Amino acid sequence: MNLVPWAAAIASLVPLAGCREGGIPASGALTDSVPEAFAPALGRTPRVYYVASTGSDSAAGSLRAPLQTIQRAADLVEPGDTVLVRPGVYPGGARVVSVTRGGTATEWVTFKSEQKWGARLDGRGTSLEAWYFGPRVGYVRVEGFEIRGLREHAFDTYGGGVHNLVIAQNLVHDIGRNCTDTSNGRTGASLGAATQAVTFDGNVWQDIGRLAPGELGCDPKTRYYQNHDHGIYVADANQVTIINNVFYQFARGWAIHRYWSQGGFALGLRIANNTFVGANPYRPGQIILATPTSGLKIENNIFYSPNSAALYFENLPFPEAVVRYNLVYRAALTVGQPRNVSFRKNREGIDPRFIGSSNVRLRAGSPAIDAGAALTYVRHDADGAVRPRGQGYDLGAYER
């Protein structure tokens, strides 16, 4: 499917944000303190590896002699290193990048597109996934890439014990666009296997999920196409923060799906200052909360034209959950009867007044301007602009 026009234009509006987010300790306890940078410790001098589609994996990885694949750089990095990827198309095998080496709490490893969305990880309909994180990998940031054409996932943390990741400023689209009857979901990001402390900040997610009957001749024998594919699938993972993202056109499942198979309560899920657009014609909700979760926060979001309701709660307990300062247009806020949830200052039936049908920034006079709660864990918007600009936080991904 084609990208909505505003998505293709966003990259030219602002430079990539610096290394701002993360700030979640290995213990998994969410914190409101977010470091402004990850300063290297004394000792080894961090290195910058350069990658270009015209480079060579036998090269030094320097500015004048870049590597050819992101994978080669991922095999070389040490804590504190940065991989800077020049514009170009980067295909892969079963995976485009398998990350098995990470950083430390003070020396993160960063993979960054030199130009926002200029480095394109393209599965070309054959690679299964773009970014796979191996066992116990942590303290890694992935920033500014366009990711497309994967058969299954853009990001996969099922290596086991993955922790402390920041996924920022990426454009993720056309994932899992194939005809299949598998019950395994296709996702923008699939979090599980004891994943802990992941932040998604300022990404755009669009057109994720398998083909429906009649699309490109697809004739599925099951109904899995109705609800199995998602933007961010938060399964057996704790302490996940999702801020400043745009979710557009999710018709095969939910933009965010919370699930937990381990028994007891999942811990910590914060969903704030995101913009959701479009409906799944088969199921209600743009977010589904399908498992008991302690410490759930859903704040300052805009939900535009979901099917029936913005939030689909299973009838389960959600201790200390807060749902507040959200705006919903053309639907109700919730379906389901969750327990222990505090609903405050949400508004239904209010048009957020986007600039246009394909531009989800706010027009002057929007009721979403200065209408949010001040959140210490959301310090900027999707463009990197400091929040707030006016008297209060704007709702959604962008400050006006």
Delimit the domains of the chain by residue range: 5-362
Task: Tell me how crowded residue 15 is: count the other CB atoms within 10 A of its CB.
Answer: 12
Helix intervals (H) in 114-198: none
What is the structure's pLDDT at 199? 98
Contact 148, 124 (CB under 8 A): no
In angstroms, rounded to a whole number, what is the distance separating the alpha carbons of residues 335 and 345?
17
In angstroms, rounded to a whole number, what is the distance separating the alpha carbons of residues 301 and 311?
11
Q: Maximum Cα–Cα distance for the chain, whole Å?
A: 60
In angstroms, rounded to a whole number, what is the distance separating the alpha carbons of residues 31 and 20?
14
Considering only residues 307 and 25, tell me which one the structure prediction assigns the higher pLDDT.
Answer: 307
Closest C-alpha among 320, 326, 253, 325 to residue 290:
253
Percentage of residues of the chain with pLDDT beyond 90: 88
* CATH class entry, domain 5-362: mainly beta
What is the structure's pLDDT at 30? 59
Mean pLDDT of 176-191: 98
Contact 70, 51 (CB under 8 A): yes
Contact 125, 178 (CB under 8 A): yes
Gyration radius from the chain CA atoms: 20
Token pair listed for 120: 């394109």
DSSP string over 350-377: ----EEETTEEEEPTT-TTTT-B---TT
Considering only residues 43 and 262, tell me which one the structure prediction assigns the higher pLDDT.
Answer: 262
Residue 34 above 80 pLDDT? no
Q: Tens digit of pLDDT for each residue in 349-396? A: 999 999 998 899 999 999 999 999 999 999 999 999 999 999 999 999
Q: Tens digit of pLDDT for each residue in 76-118? A: 999 999 999 999 999 999 999 999 999 999 999 999 999 999 9
Q: What is the DSSP letter of 288?
A: E
In angstroms, rounded to a whole number, what is the distance separating the alpha carbons of residues 53 and 260?
40
Percentage of residues of the chain with pLDDT beyond 70: 90
Range list of β-strands (E), 116-160: 119-122, 129-133, 138-143, 146-148, 153-156
What is the structure's pLDDT at 357? 83
SS3 for 7?
Answer: helix
Q: What is the pTM of this model?
A: 0.92
The H or E element that residue 309 is part of is strand 309-313
DSSP string over 74-99: HHH--TT-EEEE-SEEE--SSEEEEE
Q: What is the DSSP letter of 67?
A: B
What is the structure's pLDDT at 266? 93
Find where tokens 């799944």 sit.
280
SS3 for 145?
Answer: coil
What is the structure's pLDDT at 1? 56
What is the structure's pLDDT at 294? 96
What is the structure's pLDDT at 263? 86
